[in-house]
Structure 1
Amino acid sequence: MRTRLKKPSAAIAATIAIFALALTGCAGSPQAGKVGTVEDPVTIRFAWWGNDARAKTTQEVIKDFEAANPTIKVQGENTEFSSYWDKMATQIAGGTTPDVFAMSGAYPSEYASRGVLLDLGKVKEQIDTSKMPEQAVSLGKIDGKQYTITAGVNAISMVVDPNVFEAAGVQLPDDDTWTWDDYVKIAADISKKSPAGTFGATQAANDSVLSVWARQHGEQLYSDDGKKLGISEDTATSFFELNKKLMESGGGPSASQTVEDGSAQPEATLMGQGKQAMRISWSSQIGSYSATAPLKMMKLPGEGKQPGTWLRSSMEYAISSKSAHPKEAALFINYLVNNLDAAKKIKSDRGMPANTELKAAITPLLKETQQKEAAYLDRLAEMNVEPPLPLPAGSSATQEVLNRYNTDVLFGKASPRDAARGFIQEVNQNLG
């Protein structure tokens, strides 16, 4: 059983504290209990984040759903990711929560702990998960209850540019056996044999990569109760040492260039410019780096001995606990994750479909890079790696904290040991 329900971080708690008052006033909605008809359908609201292309596709899917379900109307609400969570907090506090909304990261735990999310067990007749692997279904479970349904899965991967390897005269590694030491050595070798400005790799400061690192060392990033980090000081230190060694060996760029590269759009990164051989990245981003380079996707180093990479939700769907129409909302989610026509339109935009039949059906329709992602995720699925517990409340800032301490290490402002201590102390304060 995957358990994690606890109080949210202080910043989010201040907003969610208003939820209890706001939510009690939602049950009196004039639509509550209404049975929709073709002449007078019920209306549900669906909120998600994304760009204009995603919004256009989603509106097309909504129209298809409405045509198939004429007693239900769906009001779509698209928001840029940078402002999505602030908007959600405002709506929930104001008692105007969308019926269905997209989620990710630590938010399911934070929202579920305050009663914002509907226990989807109450609408299990409307949502079919029989075509999804249990591993994918369990991604939405907290304390044994199903609070979200994955919209699609992705995973941390090693994106590789074979052209850079070939130009440097370096062979591609065997990703079933290579180690992190091999990774650093190969990166340095490629940088040495490549034109100035081309590198073997780039230092990575991603909390999901750190989670993989912890799992490969027999630890977890967070403790089971979510109240503190589970990674040890020694293991965190070795992670910072890896990035420092990658830079000092010449395998990765300088500290300043690393910071610049980390904030660039995918096509403007070293990988996007064809100046990098290897880059740790989300599998769903492979197509964003280049439309022409024959990029490949490999497993991270160290996965052969004790694998740590898991399939995770790139986006999840939840229903408001105070929705006036939970069954209709559930029918809409079911359409999004189980309907073939919807899948052919959405494709892998929200991650690869968890429904295995839909994934098989859309794979031939995908671009070559997306098909490579599908094959990579199949390899991970065969490894059957148990995912970690849901991200705990208070962990939303972990990525920023990790990146800050990693930057201090690269610029020589902190030793890997001091960075590990500071990182652990600060994140534990956020969790507590």
Structure 2
Amino acid sequence: MSELSRRGFFGLGAGAAALAMAGCSDFTASTSSSGASSGSSGGSLVFRWWGGTSRNEAYQSALKVFTKKTGIKVTAQYSGYNGYFDKLNTEFAGGTPPDVFQMDTALTSTYAAKGVLTDLSTYIPGTIQLSTLFPALRGAGVVKGVNYGVASGSGYAPVLYNETVLNKLKIALPENSWTWDDFSTITNEVAKAWGSGKYGANDASGDDSGALQPWLRQRGKDLYTSSGELGFDATDLGDWWNYWAGLRKTGACVPADLVANYGNADSTNPFVAGSAALTTGWGLAQIAPLMTATLGEIIVPRGANGKTGQALNGGVLLVIPTKSSNPTGAAKLIDFFLTDKDAIKIMGTQRGLPPSSLAETELLPTLSASAKLDVTYGDYVNQQVAADALADAPSAPPGYGDVKTALGNVSSAVAFGKQSVSAGVSSFFSQAKTILAQAAA
């Protein structure tokens, strides 16, 4: 996933102004094409999102229903993720952002710090029924105590396993009570039994939210603090990378030259290719269609204290800029996606797992087997989050994207043996602290 560039929030390059939107259509009770520009007035809205064909089609169908029910005309603008925020930055600089738009949860702090997002407390609970969300998701758009966005989906950090392979090797399937020691045992057993060129798991040493974050939360820490600093120290990261170094040494996780493909949901991913038996970072509905094997889904290994350390994320958020010409209408649109049964059914799981019991009830009968397992397992994780009784994860601070990149780059260097664990830890903390300080300045 692309992040804001190092040029800064309003750093504009030639590509930013030149971005051509993949689609722009004006929805009324009957659909017509108008090519309307950003900004709106009266009973109309401009709504912007990124997504693929399925998400785009779902949004467009839902907007027709919204217009029919409210009389509010919506100009829909959509594109791929690449260039999406460059386009927004250009419009913010010119004072013409859309009235409501889809926001990357990890970038909310960056935009909130610039003062360009609306405090939604004016519309909660009067217009936006935030209480319908699962409790752990109600703060997904909160930055320093202010709510700037509303979750439109839910996500968690699962582990997928190749049940076909484990059964063939006569290795017991992991259970929800498993720990990181169990993960090590299982992946080593797979590596020994499966043969040359086969490994227990993908290497998740550079996976921040899908593996490192729950591991840190099990220790009572997190990726970041509420003040926007790193929430863990050199000892924590050293322990984490040494854990994966041990798995790498025994062949329990994939070697360094395969790590680059770990983030691809295609045939180059070692898990999808059938050369790794377990993986973090993916949901079952994303990966199952790419494989013929029977797959299983389980919670990330627990800490020694029994806690899962899971932090539910809000999928993508919907936010309103301070320059919106129709913030009341924008708030109605956000609530429509949150509480309207027709909208819930149309959107399905295009923006993540159902974020509420209402959405679960409406969607479960309509889902594929793999998506249904994702949803029901996500509900189990939601219960475990409540049982953990841990504080909600703080919002990712400005600079998050570059810190994420640094973690991935340094973890790769450590995997390749270009840096020792201790040297890699020092390098990462030096880079991360500089990035966060510059982003906060």
TM-score exceeds 0.5: yes
CA RMSD of aligned residues (A): 2.2
Verify the 8 A CA contact 2:217 2:309 in the aligned structure 1: yes
* 2:219 corresponding residue in structure 1: 217
**1:284-327 Cα deviation digits (max 9, x unpaired):** 65445636433221111124623311111111000111111111
- In the aligned structure 1, how far is the partner of 2:62 from the partner of 2:414? 47
SS at match of 1:313: coil
Shift of 1:142: 2.1
- In the aligned structure 2, how far is the partner of 1:81 from the partner of 1:284? 22
Q: Structure 1 residue 201 and structure 2 residue 209: aligned?
A: no
- In the aligned structure 2, how far is the partner of 1:153 from the partner of 1:94? 33
For residues 96-175 of structure 1, the aligned pairs below 5 Å read 96-124=96-124, 125-175=126-176
SS at match of 1:297: strand
Shift of 1:276: 2.5
- In the aligned structure 1, how far is the partner of 2:407 from the partner of 2:283? 21
- The change in CA–CA distance for 1:376 and 1:266 in structure 2 (over 3 A counts) is farther
- The change in CA–CA distance for 1:305 and 1:154 in structure 2 (over 3 A counts) is same
For residues 23-422 of structure 1, the aligned pairs below 5 Å read 34=42, 42-70=43-71, 72-124=72-124, 125-176=126-177, 178-204=178-204, 205-208=206-209, 209-226=211-228, 228-259=229-260, 261-283=261-283, 286-287=286-287, 290=290, 292-303=292-303, 305-383=306-384, 384=386, 385-422=390-427
**1:20-70 Cα deviation digits (max 9, x unpaired):** xxxxxxxxx9955x3xxxxxxx32111111112211111111111111122
Normalised by the size of structure 1, how large is the TM-score?
A: 0.87
**1:119-144 Cα deviation digits (max 9, x unpaired):** 11122322112322222111122232
SS at match of 1:106: helix
Verify the 8 A CA contact 1:164 1:276 in the aligned structure 2: no
- In the aligned structure 2, how far is the partner of 1:430 from the partner of 1:381? 33
What amino acid sits opposite 2:215 in the alignment?
W
Shift of 1:9: 10
What amino acid sits opposite 1:212 in the alignment?
P
**1:394-420 Cα deviation digits (max 9, x unpaired):** 212122111111111111111111111
Verify the 8 A CA contact 2:191 2:199 in the aligned structure 1: yes
- In the aligned structure 1, how far is the partner of 2:359 from the partner of 2:153? 11
What amino acid sits opposite 1:309 in the alignment?
Q
Shift of 1:173: 2.0
Higher RCO, 1 vs 2 (CA within 8 Å, ≥6 residues apart): 1
Shift of 1:237: 0.8
What amino acid sits opposite 2:249 in the alignment?
E
What amino acid sits opposite 2:64 in the alignment?
K
- In the aligned structure 2, how far is the partner of 1:349 from the partner of 1:336? 12
SS at match of 1:279: strand
Shift of 1:193: 1.2
- In the aligned structure 1, how far is the partner of 2:309 from the partner of 2:289? 25
Moved more, 132-141 or 361-370: 132-141
SS at match of 2:401: coil
SS at match of 2:314: strand
Normalised by the size of structure 2, how large is the TM-score?
A: 0.85
Moved more, 180-189 or 279-288: 279-288
Moved more, 358-367 or 121-130: 121-130
- In the aligned structure 2, how far is the partner of 1:57 from the partner of 1:146? 26
Verify the 8 A CA contact 1:198 1:275 in the aligned structure 2: yes
Shift of 1:330: 0.8
**1:77-117 Cα deviation digits (max 9, x unpaired):** 11111221222212211222111111124321111122211
Question: Please, which runs of 5 or more residues in structure 1 have no aligned partner?
Answer: 1-7, 17-28, 35-41
**1:136-162 Cα deviation digits (max 9, x unpaired):** 111122232221000100111101111
Q: 1:429 aligns with which of 425, 434, 438?
A: 434
SS at match of 1:153: coil
Shift of 1:263: 4.7
SS at match of 2:200: coil
- In the aligned structure 2, how far is the partner of 1:236 from the partner of 1:149? 32
- In the aligned structure 1, how far is the partner of 2:309 from the partner of 2:293? 28
What amino acid sits opposite 1:194 in the alignment?
W
Verify the 8 A CA contact 2:299 2:308 in the aligned structure 1: no
SS at match of 2:319: strand
Matched positions, count: 401
SS at match of 1:12: coil
| Percent of aligned positions that are identical | 26
* 1:12 corresponding residue in structure 2: 8
What amino acid sits opposite 1:230 in the alignment?
G
- The change in CA–CA distance for 1:231 and 1:154 in structure 2 (over 3 A counts) is same
Verify the 8 A CA contact 2:158 2:281 in the aligned structure 1: yes
